[in-house]
Amino acid sequence: MNRAIIIAICMLIGTMFSVPISVAQEHEAYSHYDEATFMDMDFEPNIATPEVPRENHLLITRYVKKIANSLKSRYTVDLMREGEVMVITIPTDELFLPNDTLLYSTSGPLLAGLEKILADPYMWKLVIALHTDDTGSEYYREFLSRKRLNSVYDWLMDRMDAGHLPEDLIVIPFSMASSEPVLPNDTRKKRSKNRRLELYFVPGPEMIEKASRHALF
């Protein structure tokens, strides 16, 4: 066979079966990104998943830091997982009356202030954790934590139904009760610090894919 024809055939076959790097990275970023899978995971694995490829780490941490800085005037914001995950902490005293499980009427605007950054459901996975202090019996603390968590989760679902949040946003709830205090529960002020809602913004597949294309900024 003519050498030129052989070369042409080889090039055609290569074109047919080659996958652009960006497409391959996008497929990998979205693989296993499933709400049912995350619901079956414990808290720590949820914070660690999806994993950010090392080559995308720097761009993603820069992007997450930019978002975090834009929220610090209104919220308590921290970074974890080497700067890849943003954590917003809201005292539950700002969301609920003492021993109550229904959200304040004024809680809506505080939570709604985060909706803009959640507009793309694949940019972030949202993990929410509700904490109490050590007041009362273990049964009561678990009950209070679970009921308050359900109130926050239901509020988020209602916002999805109303079109304020995208329906495909993955929200994973955890009732922590008094298992992870940030301070000893030996004063009133310290106990108030332990009563908190934490919202973990974990990079989603869209953020990872955009970072691979240098398209985050």
Q: Give the model confidence (pLDDT) of 138-186 as tens digits.
A: 999 999 999 999 999 999 999 999 999 999 999 999 999 999 999 999 9
Given this model, what pLDDT does residue 110 score?
95
H helix runs in the chain, sequence order: 3-17, 21-30, 35-39, 43-48, 54-71, 107-112, 138-161, 188-194, 205-212
Question: For residue range 100-151, what is the model confidence (pLDDT) as tens digits?
Answer: 999 998 899 999 999 999 999 999 999 999 999 999 999 999 999 999 999 9
Residue 4: the pLDDT is: 52
| Residue 11, pLDDT above cutoff 90 | no
pLDDT at 13: 44
Q: Got the DSSP string for 73-120? A: TTSEEEEETTTTEEEEEEEGGGTS-TT--SPPTTHHHHHHTTTGGGSS
Contact, 141 vs 135, CB < 8 A?
A: yes
pLDDT (0 to 100) of residue 106: 87
The pLDDT value given to residue 127: 98
Is-contact 191 133, C-beta < 8 A?
A: yes
Give domain limits for the chain.
3-212
Q: Identify the CATH assignment for 3-212 out of 3.30.565.10, 2.40.110.10, 3.30.1330.60, 3.20.20.140.
A: 3.30.1330.60
Predicted local distance difference test score (pLDDT) of residue 30? 73
The predicted-structure confidence for 58-70, as pLDDT tens digits, reads as follows 999 999 999 999 9
Does residue 196 have a pLDDT over 60? yes
d(CA 165, CA 187): 38
Residues in the chain: 217
The rounded distance, in Å, linking the Cα atoms of 128 and 173 is 5
- Give, in order, the Cα–Cα distances in Å from 167 to each of 93, 159, 163: 28, 9, 8
pLDDT digits (tens, 9 = 90+) for 16-70: 444 444 444 455 667 679 999 999 999 999 999 999 999 999 999 999 999 999 9
